[in-house]
Structure 1
Amino acid sequence: MAEALQNYDAIVLGAGGAGLMCAAVAGQRGRRVLVVDHSDEPGRKILISGGGRCNFTNIHAAPDRYISANPHFMKSALGRYTPDDFIALVDAYGIAWHEKTLGQLFCDGSARQIVALLMDECAKGGVAFAFGDAIAAVDHADGRFRVTHGGRVSEAPALVVATGGPSIPKIGATGFAYDLARRFGLKIVEPRPALVPLTLGGDEVLFRSLSGVATEVVAQAGKGRFREAALFTHKGLSGPAILQASSYWRHGEPVGIDFLPDAPTGWALAAKRERPRATLRSLLSAMLPDRLAETLAERVNLPGDLANLPDKGLADVERRLGDWRFHPSGTEGFAKAEVTIGGISTDGLSSRTMEARAVPGLYAIGEAVDVTGWLGGYNFQWAWASGWAAGQAL
């Protein structure tokens, strides 16, 4: 038999970064808040992020580093809660941090420090928690939301959907947010894996033999162009440059790789003049990991000394190595995706409050929404900013 009805000002579904931030902000504003999560502990995605050190924000966070069907939607929240704001919170807790590369900020210690910070902020606001509670039902009538969870029934005039997307199902991620949003008439932008390794098939399978080889490249897919490391795997391509490009990649499209981003125009012809007895293989080995150089030289198939190779052939090699086209067979899916692109359409939400226009009191934040950041702390900054925006509005 279910327990007596419990009343709150707001119920937050999901104890990830966005949900905890929202609950803390609303709680400290005097709202009675309940956070419900089917996991036994909060912040599971935070705990595994950044190799366990949590890449908690990026100092370069700006709207143009996010992907959404509406490229303007995230401007309000990101503008009102900035990386500096979260850094100030981290500093207030005495958590040591460092910048790794490209504006990425990590804890010196453990990601658990970020979860502890958020839980402490929630405690300051008197936030109640229901961990390990599966959500059995969500009902809405007379301007109130009723959530049945773990044998209990809780009710509030505001409901915040902060259950994320389906990426990394091994930590309990599901498409729950989408099912709930559809029930309330909100549209969904087709979800797909993002920040995810790409797979190679067909005659590109031979590149899998390079598993473990990494090199700095410029990777391009669609409008995305990123200079970072690429890593060959036993399934295809990974590494930061590839994960970034994957968010812009669509099935059937190529991914362009510049294997020699620092090589000047005309480098092959210059080498022919300066080292006529060298081979293309030895030339590439001086600039790339040996196994990669060997494979690329085989694919280009220009054997012999540089002196005996036609200028046109060498110019073609330059062009190919500067924009080597891979045709991925797919991705490694949600199981390996760090985040989800797509989700609850921003068309039905207020960019200032994250509230659904057609359903007063219903909010959606974090990864559940169709806003996806680049690799490197951007998605956490969206979690903090969107959670803060909703928490201010509750």
Structure 2
Amino acid sequence: MRFLDSVNKVMHVDCIVIGGGAAGLMCAATAGYRGRQVAVLDHANKVGKKILMSGGGRCNFTNYTIEPHHYLSANAHFCKSALSRYKSADFIELVERHGVSYHEKTKGQLFCDNKASDILNLLLTECEYAGVSVTTQCSIEKVAKISDKFHLQTSLGQYTCDSLVVATGGLSIPTMGATGFGYQIAQQFGLACTPVWASLVPFTITDKWQPIVNELSGLSLNVRVTCNKQSFSDPLLFTHRGLSGPAMLQISNYWRPSDSLLIDFYPDGDLAEQIKTWRSQGNKSELKNLLAMLLPKRFVESWLPDGEGSRAVNQYSDADISRIAEKFQRWRVTPSGTEGYRTAEVTMGGVDTQGVSSKTFEAKTTPGLYFVGEVLDVTGWLGGFNFQWAWASGFCAGQYV
């Protein structure tokens, strides 16, 4: 129920959701449909900013194939329950019910045909149907639990509620308003937080490779990258600062400072065998010209030392070929770091899930306190997995708040 204490000017609702992002709006709508009076409070000037900028403005809202191994957490089993109870097919059904057209881009990744705002409008429409109030430019100044109610002092006045949902996200993209407020609330109520760092993020290169990387800026090609026994085959993009593109964002989930990356620029074949085949055929073309049939010419010319590829291919020894193939298929580079939260799509780590129920998302230390979405120590791969975690965790918590 919702009422205003006219004497103390305190607004009371059944449930307050702090954060109007994907998980928060999903949770609010779900709870609202249960007859709960729900208020979403967000400190930004509008909700869903990360939704709007995601997927190049088209929002990669889920993936056809969602499995627990697509997620990283100190508690690997935590995500299983929610992902099994709210599947990608459930959100796709919601998308179709709202008439949002979409397409599969690659590897099961689903994007809006039109704009990411279609997904945000869907969520806001669901909240409207469910009677949820959404308030922006409302900063939370203090949270306390007194007796069985939560008391919030905000920039717009005082609120109380029976259930409090923290859906504040992580630290990624601070220009969108990201803060560590959710971690502060967790710690205030006795929950631990695991270390956090920027992830799904480009790498920076500052060593001897920097001039070449800078020279190749803007060039994209398919690679296979490996780090800490995990590999991904996706495009790599050279930038002025280092390495980006889906392959680099994916592997950044597994990379730690001082780790090296092993990159194969010819992931679908054996370059040494291909060069030997050209040689055995008596081919007299220059090696660099032949390699340019397999890889971008600009890349080949930058990657080979001066004069290295200028001889006819039939003049290369087995040792020469092995050395050149190694350079293209086993490039080992140690990034100096990443671009950090400024460009990171997600925050790795967060509220320790050991202190949260995987069924209800309620904090074990504090009845009535819930955590959903990115604020938790659950991080998905690139490709719609983090949005599906937002939908699933928000929906499941919404059944109980």
Give the drift of 1:282.
Answer: 2.1
1:321 is matched with 328
Provide Cα deviations, 1:176-200, integer angstroms capped at 9, x if missing partner. Answer: 1111111111111111111111011
CA contact 1:280–1:297 (8 Å) conserved in 2: no
1:227 is matched with 233
1:368 is matched with 375
Give the drift of 1:300.
Answer: 10
Question: How has the CA–CA distance of structure 1 residues 110 and 314 changed in structure 2, closer, same or farther, with 3 Å as cutoff?
Answer: same
1:393 is matched with 400
Taking the aligned partners of 2:125 and 2:108, their CA distance within structure 1 comes to 26
Provide Cα deviations, 1:84-142, integer angstroms capped at 9, x if missing partner. Answer: 00000011111111111111111111111111111111112211222111111111121
Identity %: 46
2:145 is matched with 140
Question: How has the CA–CA distance of structure 1 residues 218 and 253 changed in structure 2, closer, same or farther, with 3 Å as cutoff?
Answer: same
Choose which of 257, 260, 283 in structure 2 pairs with 1:254. 260
1:75 is matched with 80
CA contact 1:3–1:151 (8 Å) conserved in 2: no
Verify: 1:243 aligned to 2:277, yes or no. Answer: no
Verify: 1:61 aligned to 2:71, yes or no. Answer: no
Verify: 1:100 aligned to 2:105, yes or no. Answer: yes
Question: How has the CA–CA distance of structure 1 residues 9 and 288 changed in structure 2, closer, same or farther, with 3 Å as cutoff?
Answer: same
2:181 is matched with 176
Choose which of 217, 221, 225 in structure 2 pairs with 1:215. 221
Name the SS for the 1:343 alignment partner. coil
Name the SS for the 1:393 alignment partner. coil
Taking the aligned partners of 2:351 and 2:152, their CA distance within structure 1 comes to 20
Give the drift of 1:264.
Answer: 3.4
1:306 is matched with 313
Provide Cα deviations, 1:338-391, integer angstroms capped at 9, x if missing partner. Answer: 111111111111111111111111111101011111111111000000000100
Aligned letter for 1:216? N
CA contact 2:356–2:363 (8 Å) conserved in 1: yes
Name the SS for the 1:140 alignment partner. strand
CA contact 2:166–2:182 (8 Å) conserved in 1: yes
CA contact 1:214–1:230 (8 Å) conserved in 2: yes
Give the drift of 1:208.
Answer: 1.6
1:379 is matched with 386
Choose which of 156, 166, 170 in structure 2 pairs with 1:151. 156
CA contact 2:278–2:314 (8 Å) conserved in 1: no
Question: How has the CA–CA distance of structure 1 residues 190 and 71 changed in structure 2, closer, same or farther, with 3 Å as cutoff?
Answer: same
CA contact 2:288–2:309 (8 Å) conserved in 1: no
Question: How has the CA–CA distance of structure 1 residues 3 and 306 changed in structure 2, closer, same or farther, with 3 Å as cutoff?
Answer: farther
Instruction: Give me the CA root mean square deviation.
Output: 1.8
Verify: 1:280 aligned to 2:287, yes or no. Answer: yes
Name the SS for the 1:313 alignment partner. helix
Give me the TM-score of the superposition, normalised by structure 1.
Answer: 0.96
Give me the TM-score of the superposition, normalised by structure 2.
Answer: 0.94
Give the drift of 1:278.
Answer: 3.2
1:286-297 matches, within 5 Å, as 286-297=293-304
CA contact 2:101–2:112 (8 Å) conserved in 1: yes
Aligned letter for 1:211? S
Give the drift of 1:284.
Answer: 2.0
Give the drift of 1:299.
Answer: 8.2
Aligned letter for 1:210? L
What is the count of residue pairs matched by the alignment? 394
2:118 is matched with 113
Taking the aligned partners of 2:275 and 2:261, their CA distance within structure 1 comes to 23
Question: How has the CA–CA distance of structure 1 residues 80 and 275 changed in structure 2, closer, same or farther, with 3 Å as cutoff?
Answer: farther
Question: How has the CA–CA distance of structure 1 residues 390 and 300 changed in structure 2, closer, same or farther, with 3 Å as cutoff?
Answer: farther
Aligned letter for 1:313? D
CA contact 2:205–2:335 (8 Å) conserved in 1: yes
2:134 is matched with 129
CA contact 1:48–1:54 (8 Å) conserved in 2: yes
Taking the aligned partners of 1:165 and 1:2, their CA distance within structure 2 comes to 37
Taking the aligned partners of 1:44 and 1:299, their CA distance within structure 2 comes to 48
2:3 is matched with none
2:269 is matched with 263
CA contact 2:373–2:393 (8 Å) conserved in 1: yes
Question: How has the CA–CA distance of structure 1 residues 284 and 167 changed in structure 2, closer, same or farther, with 3 Å as cutoff?
Answer: same
* Unmatched tracts of structure 2, length 5 or more: 1-5
Question: How has the CA–CA distance of structure 1 residues 2 and 86 changed in structure 2, closer, same or farther, with 3 Å as cutoff?
Answer: farther
2:191 is matched with 186
1:15 is matched with 20
Taking the aligned partners of 1:301 and 1:69, their CA distance within structure 2 comes to 47
Taking the aligned partners of 1:275 and 1:370, their CA distance within structure 2 comes to 58
Taking the aligned partners of 1:60 and 1:211, their CA distance within structure 2 comes to 33
Aligned letter for 2:74? A
Taking the aligned partners of 2:188 and 2:290, their CA distance within structure 1 comes to 61
Aligned letter for 2:158? V
Give the drift of 1:67.
Answer: 1.1
* Unmatched tracts of structure 1, length 5 or more: none
